[in-house]
């Protein structure tokens, strides 16, 4: 598994990270037992993944804590998050959330602790009132690095993270980015590279890449809104099929595209299925897409900032 340095944190991380949320929540939402979910986590660790992301709202912190019991804690990078959207967020609730995360994960420190799902209107309060609290926890050794994540479904053009990356308070950002919506390149990644900020990518793969009917629906909507020129496509009904000349699936190509984007570090991949995990691992073992293919994808979706692909 390829590794990289997570920006100014100087943490060595696998470029593929395990996501504890999403549709599956490591199998929790799809009927897997905790033992089966833990086996998937161990499968990922054994394959060389050392970065696992969760959150208090996912409900997967306890199983991750149990999965870590027979592993060397110092070899695993844990990212977890305090939910903020429509939540009461103050010194007491954040303190309680952090201590609960430490307990359920079975650790005395969190590598990356983030404010989660932050929308533009909530950002000023969180930056002014809650960030100093996180700095105190950092000084106490309870968290190593401070992050912030966007609510990509509501903020597809990254208004919150544009402000956050310019403030330069945050060591790590979690960003929505994929083939269909590459707007983070100019709005977030350029400044993040300048400030050496770590980037976790979510939404690298969405259902549009595995469901052709939904992909056609997304592309049709983009054409109707004027964000996509149909003349850039070989076939409006199969807009990404040209990728199959260079990848076994469109999903594989999507992971490779995000992995090799300048400024990204960890590409999160969520699954509750050991076969699916093996397929995702194989995708990350593939080389970069040809430069002309990458440039064509950039050109086709150059004006898109309105969708997530989900």
pLDDT digits (tens, 9 = 90+) for 123-176: 999 999 999 999 999 999 999 999 999 999 999 999 999 999 999 999 999 999
pLDDT in tens, 25-35: 786 777 778 88
Query: What tens digit of pLDDT does each residue of 276-292 get?
Result: 899 999 999 999 999 99
The token duo for 107 is 């650790």
Q: How confident is the model at residue 21, as a pLDDT? A: 80
In a domain, 186, yes or no: yes
pLDDT at position 79 over 90: yes
Cα pseudo-dihedral 183, 188, 191, 195, rounded to 10: -150
100-104: long-range contacts (C-beta < 8 A, 24 or more apart)? 100/56, 101/56, 101/61, 102/142, 104/61, 104/62, 104/65
CATH number, domain containing residue 168: 3.20.20.100
The DSSP call for residue 198 is: E
Taking CA 64 as the corner, what is the angle to CA 101 and CA 88, rounded to the nearest 5 degrees? Answer: 30
Task: Catalogue the long-range contacts made by 248-254 (C-beta closer than 8 Å, 24 or more residues apart).
Answer: 249/210, 250/209, 250/210, 250/215, 251/205, 251/209, 251/210, 251/283, 252/279, 252/282, 252/283, 252/286, 253/179, 253/289, 254/178, 254/179, 254/204, 254/205, 254/209
Q: Is the pTM here over 0.75, yes or no? A: yes
Position 223 in a domain: no
| 212 found inside a domain | no
Percentage of the residues of the chain whose pLDDT score is greater than 90? 85
Task: Report the pLDDT averaged over residues 4-12.
Answer: 98
pLDDT, residue 19, reads 87
In a domain, 172, yes or no: yes
pLDDT value, residue 57: 87
| 296 located within any domain | no
Of 303, 276, 21, 160, nearest in space to 175 by CA = 160
Q: Which residue has the higher pLDDT, 182 or 274?
A: 182
At 220 the pLDDT is 96
pLDDT value for 199: 98
First-residue to last-residue Cα distance in the chain: 27
226 in a domain, yes or no? Answer: no
Long-range contacts, stretch 286-292, CB < 8 angstroms, 24+ apart: 286/247, 286/252, 286/256, 287/256, 288/256, 288/260, 289/243, 289/246, 289/247, 289/253, 289/256, 289/257, 289/260, 290/246
Q: How confident is the model at residue 111 (pLDDT cuts 50, 70, 90)?
A: very high
The domain total for the chain is 1
pLDDT, residue 31, reads: 75
Tell me, yes or no, whether 51 lies in a domain: yes
Predicted local distance difference test score (pLDDT) of residue 23: 75
Confidence of residue 114 (pLDDT cuts 50, 70, 90): very high
With bands split at pLDDT 50, 70 and 90, how would you rate the model's confidence at 273? Answer: confident
What domain range includes position 112?
3-207+260-286
Domain contains 243 = no
pLDDT: which is higher, 88 or 231:
231
């Amino acid at each position: 598994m390829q590794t990289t340095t997570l920006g100014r944190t100087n943490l060595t991380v696998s470029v593929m990270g395990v996501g504890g949320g999403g549709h599956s929540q490591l199998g929790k939402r799809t009927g897997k037992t905790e033992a089966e979910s833990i086996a998937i986590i161990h499968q990922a660790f054994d394959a060389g993944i050392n970065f696992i992301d969760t959150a208090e709202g996912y409900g997967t912190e306890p199983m991750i804590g149990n999965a870590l019991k027979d592993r060397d804690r110092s070899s695993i990078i844990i990212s977890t998050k305090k939910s903020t959207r429509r939540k009461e967020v103050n010194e007491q609730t954040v303190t309680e959330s952090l201590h609960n995360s430490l307990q359920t994960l079975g650790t005395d420190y969190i590598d990356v602790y983030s404010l989660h799902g932050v929308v533009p209107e909530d950002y000023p309060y969180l930056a002014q009132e809650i960030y100093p609290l996180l700095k105190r926890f950092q000084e106490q050794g309870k968290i190593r690095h401070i992050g912030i994540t966007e609510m990509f479904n509501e903020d597809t053009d990254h208004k919150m993270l544009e402000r956050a990356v310019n403030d330069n308070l945050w060591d790590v950002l979690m960003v929505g980015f994929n083939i269909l919506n590459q707007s983070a390149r100019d709005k977030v990644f350029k400044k993040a590279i300048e400030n050496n900020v770590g980037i976790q990518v979510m939404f690298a793969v969405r259902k549009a890449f595995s469901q052709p009917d939904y992909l056609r629906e997304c592309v049709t909507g983009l054409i109707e809104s004027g964000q996509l020129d149909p003349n850039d496509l070989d076939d409006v009904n199969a807009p990404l099929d040209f990728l199959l000349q260079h990848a076994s699936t469109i999903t594989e190509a999507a992971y490779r595209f995000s992995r090799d984007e300048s400024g990204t570090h960890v590409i999160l991949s969520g699954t509750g299925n050991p076969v699916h995990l093996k397929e995702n691992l194989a995708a990350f073992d593939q080389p970069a897409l040809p430069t002309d293919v990458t440039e064509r994808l950039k050109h086709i979706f150059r004006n898109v900032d309105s969708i997530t692909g989900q």
